[in-house]
Amino acid sequence: MVEVVETVPGRGGELVLRRDGEAYEVIENGVFLMDTRNGESERLLVTGALTPGAAVLIGGLGVGFSLRAALDAGASSVVVVEREPAVIVWNRSGPLRTVHGDALADPRVRVVPADLVSWLETTSDRFDALCLDIDNGPEWTVTEGNAQLYSDAGLTRLASLLNSGGVLAVWSAGAAPAFASRLRAHFASVREVAVEVPRGEPDVLWFARNQRRDPVNLSGHPTSSTRLRPWRPS
């Protein structure tokens, strides 16, 4: 039986947190956004992009899967940009806190309550990994303005925020061939990874590096540099 835990007005419309058995779900304007049932691709989005000691940006807090993965993989600092105050509250002191083991309390974490696209336009911060999961995909954005993030101009800006050898990682609920082509026009190396899900089409992740440096771990588990898989550009 589905139980509505809380309904609040959000910046993008009505937000609903509901519980279905042991799982929590977040709905915006009647559109399913995320739940706590799996999280494999959300974790791989981060573990596939960083090495221990990395400075990480996570775009979209979600239910905390990516944040927990970054901390467990040894990130030195994690900036999380989340536009919905309610999502932050649900993760910091609400029912989602137990999903990620109170990850927001870790001293390495800084949560920025802001629209990611706007924040990226003005920040002077630089990162070793940019991990973006604010939409259902580059071609299925939650907010119309998010589309510019995946444009040529957006990719140019993202590349400029990466340290040498840094990785841009993007999550999608499905394939996006046009976006993949744009990535390859802006980054020296791009890898696309499909992650099977219990129902529907596989989730798709892209890992794009602006320069060759360290190999990228796509195993989904924290590793030392001696165990990382070699980078294979497509």
Domain that holds residue 70: 38-209
Q: Can you tell me the distance from the alpha carbon of 125 to that of 188, in angstroms, rounded to the nearest whole number?
A: 22
Q: Of all residues in the chain, what percent carry a pLDDT higher than 70?
A: 90
Model confidence over 71-81: pLDDT tens digits? 999 999 999 99
CATH, residue 202: 3.40.50.150
Q: Is residue 119 part of a domain?
A: yes
In the numeric block, which tokens belong to residue 139? 């071609």
Q: Is residue 234 part of a domain?
A: no
Q: Is residue 201 part of a domain?
A: yes
Q: Helices (H) and strands (E) in the chain — how many of each? A: 6, 11
When pLDDT is cut at 50, 70 and 90, the band that residue 211 belongs to is low
In the numeric block, which tokens belong to residue 14? 């009505």
Model confidence over 64-113: pLDDT tens digits? 999 999 999 999 999 999 999 999 999 999 999 999 999 999 999 999 99
